[in-house]
Amino acid sequence: MDINVLVVNVGNSRIAVGAFVAGTLEYVSRVPIAERDTFEQSLKEAWKRFEGMSSEVAGASVNPLVMEGVEHTIKKITGKSVAWVGREIDLPVKVKTRSPEQTGVDRVLVVAAAYEMMQKACVVVDAGTAVTVNLCNDAGEFLGGAIAPGASMMLDALHDNTARLPSVAFAAPSTVVGDSTEQAMLHGVFHGIRGMVKELVEQYATDLGNWPEIIATGGDAETLFKDWELIHAVSPDLLLYGIALAYSNHHIKHGT
């Protein structure tokens, strides 16, 4: 994947920017969607990596309301239009869900990137605003998975829909037993998500006939899964690699 491409992922809460120079990810930045000035600065910093080189911009988005503003900002900073995965750029793997057009492009891309590394059936847990648990088979075909609320969303729901539960920022529990209301909430969310992942992967393994490797990504992946024996690796930039892979494969496929 010897390419020069600036990649952008527009999520529900944040925008990630990455610079692949000769196929190597040399710069990454993540900024909240509301921080437009910070996003512009990140774009400028990333675009510096391509000075004097021929390069393009590729992106993925699950947030259509923000895409137009992002496109405008990218055009202003780089002079380039964004080629979006799923629109101008083909998906890099076959999607075998019942409604492929309704399947989140982010889910497909993280699985494609993981399969590119593993070359066998694998599961990707993407722990961000939502938690998705996604599966591909030994052929690299995206089969589907599960979607659940993310850790912060769960904690916010507990606070917003009860009379006395406090607002708690997500972190790994610091006690063996939840010995305070805050710790009890963190235990419920932390172990609830990990238990869901374990249960789902056991079902996937039964269906596949073998145990798939599990890769974790997303903003909460390190907190949830670091040093957990079930997880093969935590890869925070997996989606950026998926966008770059889709860009590279598309141009190879179409000879451009």
Average pLDDT on 16-40 reads: 94
106: annotated active-site residue: yes
Question: How high does pLDDT run on average in the chain?
Answer: 95
| pLDDT confidence tier of residue 251, bands split at 50, 70 and 90 | confident
Average pLDDT on 68-73 reads: 94
| pLDDT confidence tier of residue 16, bands split at 50, 70 and 90 | very high
Three-point CA angle 122, 205, 222, nearest 5°: 50
Give me the helices (H) in the chain, please: 36-47, 64-78, 105-118, 151-160, 181-208, 221-225, 238-254
Q: Indicate the pairing of strand 233-234 with strand 213-217.
A: parallel
Domains of the chain: 5-84 (3.30.420.40), 100-241 (3.30.420.40)
Q: What percent of the chain has pLDDT over 90?
A: 93
| pLDDT confidence tier of residue 1, bands split at 50, 70 and 90 | low
- CA–CA gap between residue 47 and residue 25 (Å, rounded): 13
- CA–CA gap between residue 128 and residue 221 (Å, rounded): 8
pLDDT of residue 142: 98
pLDDT of residue 256: 66
Tokens 């010995």, located at residue: 179
Write the pLDDT tens digit of every residue in 110-156: 999 999 999 999 999 999 999 999 999 999 999 999 999 999 999 99
Write the pLDDT tens digit of every residue in 190-211: 999 999 999 999 999 999 999 9
**Which of these is catalytic: 2, 37, 106, 126?**
106
Say yes or no to pLDDT of 2 above 90.
Answer: no
| pLDDT confidence tier of residue 252, bands split at 50, 70 and 90 | confident
